[in-house]
Chain A
Amino acid sequence: MLLAQYFPPSLDPGNPPAEGVTRTGYRYLRTTVTPEFASRIVAELAARGPVLQACSRERILACLDTLHRRWAKTGSRLRGEAVEALHAATGYARASIDASLRQLFASLDRRELEGWFHAAGILPTALDGFTTVPRGDLSVFGPSLGVLIASGNIPGAALPSLVQFLLLKSPLLVKTSGEEPVLLPLYARSLAEIDPELAAGLAVTGWDGGDTAIEAKVFDAADAVVVYGSDPALASVRARLRPHTRFVGYGHRLSFTLLTREVLGEADLSSLAQAVAMDYCLFDQQGCLSPQAVFIERGGEVSPERFAEALAEAFEKLAGEIPRRKLDTDEAAAIHQYRAGVEMRALADERYRYYASDPGTAWTVVVEPEPGLFPSPLNRTAILRPLEDAEEVAAHLASWRGVLISAALEATSPRRERLSDLLAAAGVTRITHAGKAQEPASALYHDGINALVHLARYVLREP
């Protein structure tokens, strides 16, 4: 059974680990965190600060580059183990997990991480001591203790935040979700294989989110808290932080796909449908980057109705290659209820199109003639919303400003540029291509912010 935690060797958890279980029935071991134990963890981590501070930027970059290559390479033992455990713990298809981890670690190479420093205005030597800048000497420090609260929905989503704390030489306590307790402890252990001293600044464990007795100990000791979770969870954490504690929250977000008429040709139909379907199938529409709707422009060689048919075929094909995880009762019930509603509306409005897996809820495709954007019941439910002109999308996004994140835009130049401007103005913070929704090119600006800037403490010594 997986020991779903990582502690510095100097820290004795005391009690033997207890058994935990995810909703798929996957069992793992984890020491029960009490407020007393939480206090010991944060004290031990804080004590590691000077050791981490003494690690050079070069040492950290080299270590992470080696580590991430190990995770990303073909046939990686680390990734293989993680994929198996994550598949069992979350029910997501192995193919989804493997592709996303490979892409994630490949993206976190040395060049990317150096780029993060650059984008945050952290000069190469400023992490290791004062460095001359135009107005004096600059030195950059990380939080003396960070806390990272990861969510359970998408394996690896919180990993870039963990890497950011490491880059800033910060001791870090990571709280994993009871639904995905796997990846981050494995990552910490793999780090310890390469650089035990660096890894000793890290503790990865879990407790019931919102346990105020434990979290009071943890939050009071932290300089910075990064949270992935629901909006109420974010608000709850934020309300319990001291005023000067740095906070970064990644809450619920909305993503979508936008297809313009130029890209809707018969020749590319099946590959485009496959790409659009892939964005729904990877992680079963559970991520903030998963599309909630496909806006599709009329007037192309392929109509929205024809595209819906092709999309249904693509879903059917992918259902075999990337099987959807088994749904909870409430999730499956929501899809059946939604489908019945659509069938009834379609009887009164012939503009509707409706395709669905049968039996079961594996996938659903609907052409929804009513304008506007509305949530789907998820888990591979694609709602196509035809537009006369792609630029109408802005009006439909207006009421969602503030929760928008990613748009998979398929258009040809110069409309792609024009529509990008429009989407950016509407509040979208990432514009990508169909088929790439779950593979962000860089984690740096996730959700429209540069978190490294929020976490770093810049010290200027004036001349």
Chain B
Amino acid sequence: MSALAEELLAVMAAGVDRPPSEPEFNRLALTVFAHQFAHNRPYAAYCRARRRTPETVSDWRQIPALPTNAFKEADLTTVAPEAVRVVYITSGTTRGEEKRGRHLLPDTVLYDASLEPNFRAHLLPDRETIRVLVVGPSAKYHPHSSLGHMNSRVLERFGTAGSGIFWTDTGPRFGCLAAALEKAEAEGEPVCLLGTAFGFVHFLDWLEGEGRRFQLPPGSRIMDTGGYKGRSREVPKVELYGLYSAALGVPESHVVNEYGMTEMGSQFYDEVLRDSLRGEPIPPVEGRVKIPPPWVRTQVVDADTLQPLPDGEVGLLRHHDLANLHTVAAIQTDDLGVARGEGFEVLGRASGAEPRGCSLAVEEFLASR
């Protein structure tokens, strides 16, 4: 473990409420950049082409943010190939013909160190442990999914007896999940459901087909993640949250949306559960704000010039995640967002937009082959 990694672990261990000062964050970010510039060759070349090197950069905002697409084309890691032990792969579209992004790590030490305090603060502000029910990927069945690792890690770290995984490599186990919910209901034991939004949509459809509903014990909560564009059907967020309440008995105040990406070691969560437990008003379903953990900075940049935008203007999200020590800390996403105060709102994925023009677009090219 390098001294730099130790320093980062200490920042994470201090939790989300004790952020390093801005100069301290800047110092760490520049040190991480110097490390990545020295050891991540493709990224160093990208930075050199922009004349941004550890010698020329004095502010973390000047560190070149690498578009996520680069992870599909190059091995963007600071560790030697033989030292790569963990490979997370982007999910891509259902057709799966295109290249997929790869996040190559020597271990999950920083990932886990970033995950735990952040998850605890946003999903378990009121308790140490909970019965965790996973309705999405897991490390066991999806070893190359970072979300799978996260779900499994949460289960190991915070899950009590009766926790379990209800999604295998062959798909969902809704019957077993319903049985687990029934059991929790009967025992009065609150649960934490972890899953993807589209997975929950499927489950809710299934429940409706079965004519079943639950009133999960008070304190039960849901963490949903990701969109479900292009899946069986799209459900507006307001409607989905209504269904969580009607079919599972989990109120809006206890539904926490998570936003993360394969290329990042840290995640973002809605503040809603933390806030509501502190007695603050519950924000509406649409427009909830996520505040980055102290070891991450998020900017919203103009999609054309890539220059930072003021609060309230829609642009692309750019994250500077120190948990990415072993790869690239500055990540330029194609996710749409808007800065709001200390945090940001996620508005969707730019690449999911309807193509315009009568030139054939990528999707249609693939479809027409």
A residues lining the B interface (CB < 8 Å): 151, 153-154, 157, 228-231, 250-254, 285-288, 290, 292, 326-334, 336-341, 343-345, 347-348, 359-361, 374-375, 377-378, 399-400, 402-403
- Per the 8 Å Cβ criterion, residues 281-334 of B in contact with A are 303-307, 314-316, 332, 334
- What are the residues of chain B within 8 A of A229 when measuring CB–CB? 358
**Given A327-B304, A329-B350; A340-B314 close (CB under 8 Å):** no
Interface of B (DSSP majority class): mixed
- Of chain B, the residue at the smallest CB distance from A337 is B69
CB < 8 Å neighbour of A333 from B66, B74, B316: B316
CB < 8 Å neighbour of B66 from A157, A254, A340, A400: A340
- What are the residues of chain A within 8 A of B336 when measuring CB–CB? 329-330
- Of chain A, the residue at the smallest CB distance from B353 is A330
Number of chain B interface residues as a range: 35 or more
B364 touches A286 (CB 8 A): no
A337 touches B358 (CB 8 A): no
A375 touches B303 (CB 8 A): no
- A to B CB contacts below 8 Å, 17 in the list: A153-B358, A228-B358, A287-B357, A327-B304, A331-B303, A334-B351, A336-B306, A336-B332, A340-B73, A340-B332, A341-B67, A343-B70, A345-B74, A374-B365, A375-B362, A378-B361, A399-B369
Residue B42 interfacial (CB < 8 Å):
yes
B67 touches A345 (CB 8 A): no
Smallest distance from the beta carbon of A147 to chain B beta carbons, Å? 19
Q: How distant is the Cα of A231 from the Cα of B359 in the complex, in angstroms?
A: 11
- What are the residues of chain B within 8 A of A337 when measuring CB–CB? 67-69, 334, 351
- What are the residues of chain B within 8 A of A377 when measuring CB–CB? 362
Give the one of B314, B352, B356, B365 with max A CB within 10 A.
Answer: B356
**Given A329-B315, A336-B332; A343-B49 close (CB under 8 Å):** yes
Residue B360 interfacial (CB < 8 Å):
yes
Q: How distant is the Cα of A325 from the Cα of B332 in the complex, in angstroms?
A: 23
Q: How distant is the Cα of A329 from the Cα of B365 in the complex, in angstroms?
A: 22
- Of chain B, the residue at the smallest CB distance from A292 is B359
Number of A-B contacts (CB under 8 A): 133
A333 touches B334 (CB 8 A): yes
- Of chain A, the residue at the smallest CB distance from B50 is A358
- What are the residues of chain B within 8 A of A326 when measuring CB–CB? 304
- What are the residues of chain B within 8 A of A328 when measuring CB–CB? 303, 353, 356
**Given A285-B359, A286-B359, A360-B305; A252-B364 close (CB under 8 Å):** yes
CB < 8 Å neighbour of A151 from B41, B74, B303, B358: B358
Residue B232 interfacial (CB < 8 Å):
no
Smallest distance from the beta carbon of A393 to chain B beta carbons, Å? 17
Top 7 closest pairs, chain A to chain B, by CB: A286-B357, A344-B73, A340-B67, A330-B353, A332-B303, A337-B69, A344-B74
B residues lining the A interface (CB < 8 Å): 41-42, 45-46, 49, 66-70, 72-74, 303-307, 314-316, 332, 334, 336, 350-353, 356-362, 364-365, 368-369
Smallest distance from the beta carbon of B51 to chain A beta carbons, Å? 11
Q: How distant is the Cα of A399 from the Cα of B72 in the complex, in angstroms?
A: 24
**Given A338-B69, A341-B69, A348-B74; A327-B360 close (CB under 8 Å):** no
Smallest distance from the beta carbon of B98 to chain A beta carbons, Å? 10
A345 touches B73 (CB 8 A): yes
- What are the residues of chain A within 8 A of B353 when measuring CB–CB? 328-330
- What are the residues of chain A within 8 A of B316 when measuring CB–CB? 329, 333
- What are the residues of chain A within 8 A of B307 when measuring CB–CB? 359
Q: How distant is the Cα of A339 from the Cα of B69 in the complex, in angstroms?
A: 9
B70 touches A341 (CB 8 A): yes
- Of chain A, the residue at the smallest CB distance from B99 is A341
A254 touches B303 (CB 8 A): no
- What are the residues of chain B within 8 A of A251 when measuring CB–CB? 358
Give the one of B351, B357, B364 with max A CB within 10 A.
Answer: B357
Smallest distance from the beta carbon of A370 to chain B beta carbons, Å? 12
Smallest distance from the beta carbon of A304 to chain B beta carbons, Å? 21
- Of chain A, the residue at the smallest CB distance from B69 is A337
A287 touches B360 (CB 8 A): no
A360 touches B304 (CB 8 A): yes
Smallest distance from the beta carbon of A221 to chain B beta carbons, Å? 27
- Of chain B, the residue at the smallest CB distance from A254 is B360
**Given A286-B357, A331-B356; A347-B74 close (CB under 8 Å):** yes
- What are the residues of chain A within 8 A of B304 when measuring CB–CB? 326-327, 332, 360-361
Q: How distant is the Cα of A201 from the Cα of B234 in the complex, in angstroms?
A: 42
